[in-house]
Amino acid sequence: MSVKLFFWNVRGINDPDKHRPISDWLYSHRPIFGALLETHIKELCLARVMNSVCHDWHYLSNHLSDEDGRIVIIWKDPAKVTLLAQSRQMIKCEVELPNYPLFTYSAIYASNLSEERADLWVELLNTQATLSLDSKPWMIGGDFNQILHSHEHSTFCHSVHSSRMFEFRDILLQLGVNDLRYYGPVHTRTNNRDIAHVAKKLDRCLINSQILTAFPNATSTFLPPAPSDHTPCLTDLACQLPIVGTQTFRFLNYLTKHPSFLEVVTDAWFLAGSVSVNLASLCWKLKYIKRSLKMLNKENYSNIQQRVQETYGLLQHAQLFLFFGRLLLIKTLIAGVNILVFKFHLAKISDNKINSMCGLFLWKGSSEGHHTAKVSWETVTLTKEQGGLESTIFTLNKAAS
């Protein structure tokens, strides 16, 4: 059974137009615990907004540390949450889920000022030491307002970003935490501009080794951002991992000739998560690509014999309709000639001339010559039960005389 957590920088939640989309998102993905970040909710409005967005959920906030309530923790039964501490940039709590080990969760909304983020780094180190989290399951999720690698910024500048990036990296090394494996885009925040577009990875779900021991199948997914400009992170603590099979994967060379091959491989590679830094993550990506290629093969190349038969049947129907369309044209032409021969008695030479002209227009049964038509003269002169006209122009003229 899936047990899901989330965090999401909603970029303000006072706007009623955001309430329904966020409420629908919660209903669709069904998390049991989560953190709403950068809410901009005044404490007096908190109950009203929470009742609109997540009715019947429990909640707590950091309004004691910030009047705008930068972080709001929400959860619903049967989860139990115990507040440990709060500050302007972090809420620490213990989360108890049925049939799962107790773990500590830190919800982060870091300042966009590097000086204030330095205070957060110190607070994280103190939290680990105070609560002995180096030996207990600990998950840290939220908006850190800082990239960790150069590829996490669409317009990276060494002179601006390098020192802060290295400082952040050192803190994570001291804490002993890493990104939880995830699906979805590398960049989690965009400025939504067509000109001077910037995208960054500011949001991340960090875990220590004890989390993997407690939840070995835990996986995160970064989902589409609307109505925010940050992607929500949905973590499944009991995600069903790919089954390791004994059958080797046979790569089918003809797939490379399919127009969508490169697009399928590229999408699968990026949807499989972060950049591969070890063999385990590379293996995970390859398994995801394998699944996508199997689907491409199934959708385009499976049941070839049946597809050939169906296509051949469609061809026969098309040829039949084409034939009857031409036959109708011929019948109309011959009917016009018949009116001529019924109204006027033509000399034998005229009969021969008309038959000769029709013979040139129609197909006499021979495939030779570049003037051959697609409907044979013999077919036109078949009986009416057989779909023909039953008489030649010569016999019609003879009858008229």
What one-letter code names the amino acid at 110? A
The answer to whether 62 touches 35, Cβ cutoff 8 Å, is no
For residue 281, what pLDDT band results from cuts at 50, 70 and 90?
Answer: confident
> H/E element holding 328?
helix 304-343
Tell me the average pLDDT across 159-181.
Answer: 90
Q: What is the per-residue pLDDT across 52-105, written as a single tens digit (0 to 9) for each?
A: 999 999 999 999 999 988 999 999 999 999 999 999 999 999 999 988 999 999
The alpha carbon of residue 246 and the mean position of all alpha carbons in its chain are separated, in whole angstroms, by 29
- Taking the CA of residue 384 as centre, how many other CA atoms within 13 Å lie in the half-sphere pointing to its CB? 1
The answer to whether 181 touches 134, Cβ cutoff 8 Å, is no
Closest CA to 103 of 79, 78, 121, 124: 79
pLDDT at 111: 96
**And the tokens for 365?**
């049964």
The answer to whether 37 touches 8, Cβ cutoff 8 Å, is yes
Q: Give the three-state DSSP class for 224.
A: coil
Measure the CA angle with vertex 132, ends 126 and 136; round to 5°: 125
Closest CA to 84 of 130, 40, 51: 130
Distances (CA, A) of 342 to 47, 329, 348: 95, 20, 14
Peptide bond into 78 cis (omega under 30): yes
**And the tokens for 399?**
């009858």
Q: Give the three-state DSSP class for 65.
A: coil
Q: 129 versus 273: which is more confidently predicted? A: 129
Q: What is the per-residue pLDDT across 12-47, written as a single tens digit (0 to 9) for each?
A: 999 999 999 999 999 999 999 999 999 999 999 999
pLDDT at 370: 47
- The Cα–Cα gap between 290 and 293 comes to 5
Residues whose CB falls within 8 Å of the CB of residue 350, separated by 6 or more in sequence, listed in order: none
Q: Phi, psi (5° rounding) for residue 11?
A: 55, 50
Q: What is the pTM (predicted TM-score) of this model? A: 0.63
Q: 152 versus 281: which is more confidently predicted? A: 152
The answer to whether 397 touches 351, Cβ cutoff 8 Å, is yes
What is the distance in angstroms between the CA of the first residue and the CA of the last residue of the chain?
92
In 10 A of CB 45, how many CB atoms? 14
In this structure, which CATH number among 3.60.10.10, 3.30.9.10, 3.90.230.10, 1.10.150.110 belongs to the domain 4-241? 3.60.10.10
| Integer-rounded Cα radius of gyration of the chain | 37
Q: Is 4 exposed, middle or buried (CB count within 10 Å of its CB: 0-12, 13-18, 19+)?
A: middle
